Structure 1
Amino acid sequence: MPRLTLVPRAAQTPPPCPTQELQEIIADLHQARDGLTDGPSILWLINDLMCWCESRIEDCDDESPNSAQTTLSRQNFMSRLTGYAENIRRSNGELSDEFLAFLATVQTAMDAPTTN
């Protein structure tokens, strides 16, 4: 009978950020800014973005050990995103140009770091 040997998990780079879902949320937020989307619908999009980012961070934590710098960078990103989300909630869905520019950094913040 073959024996099962437990092999420690090798450090692996997490897969790249699943961009399709993220890009759909970002595109919807841009359209919301340009269109006639009501405040509650925008707030749902913000919630989707927050959940997506939190889920991605949890997935990365499960897949490989993050360096302290990566963890700090993601925490900083989430802190800033939370601040924007709170402002958007207080304004009942008003999206600022500054927030839309910040969205361009989501992909970079959520992707795994590259090793040099």
Structure 2
Amino acid sequence: MPRLTLVPPTAQRPPPCPVEEFQAILAELHACRDGETDGPAVLWLINDLMRYCEDRLEECDNGSAEGAALVLRRQKFLAGLTGFAEQIRKSNGELSDEFIAFLATAPAAMDDLTTN
């Protein structure tokens, strides 16, 4: 019988999702709006978007004032996304007009730039 080999934990986080993948997820969600995409495929996209946003939230938490502002902005976006995700799951992948409008705020919420 084969033995399991345990991988020791590391302090390194996996690299964050590339911005191009984030943009592709958003584009695919907009394309799903036509209603021809099945519910499970939409739910996978929502999960991918949430994973990306969670990764971006963790990577900006560096203890600085700028990092704290980014964390707050991203937490707020992620809270909204979580609410929409629950609605989308309950409707088996149906995307509302409100969710599509919310998606338009995603790039600003996940961007690293701060305003002065």
Where on the TM-score scale, by shorter chain, does this alignment land: which range? Answer: 0.7 to 0.9
Structure 2 segments unaligned to the other structure (5+ residues):
1-16
* Cα distance in 2, alignment partners of residues 67 and 52 from structure 1: 17
Is the 2:29–2:42 contact (alpha carbons within 8 Å) kept by the matching residues of 1? yes
The residue type equivalent to 2:74 in the other structure is: R
CA RMSD of aligned residues (A): 2.0
Instruction: Report deviation, 1:58.
Output: 1.2
How many residues are paired up?
99
- Partner of 2:98 in structure 1? 98
The structure-2 alpha-carbon separation of the partners of 1:29 and 1:37, relative to structure 1 and needing over 3 Å to count, comes to same
Is the 2:22–2:52 contact (alpha carbons within 8 Å) kept by the matching residues of 1? yes
Which has the bigger relative contact order, CA under 8 A and spacing at least 6? 1
Structure 1 segments unaligned to the other structure (5+ residues):
1-16
Q: Does 1:78 align with 2:75?
A: no
Instruction: Report deviation, 1:69.
Output: 3.7
Instruction: Report deviation, 1:60.
Output: 1.6
The residue type equivalent to 1:24 in the other structure is: A
* Cα distance in 2, alignment partners of residues 78 and 33 from structure 1: 21
* Cα distance in 2, alignment partners of residues 100 and 111 from structure 1: 19
Q: Which has the larger radius of gyration?
A: 1
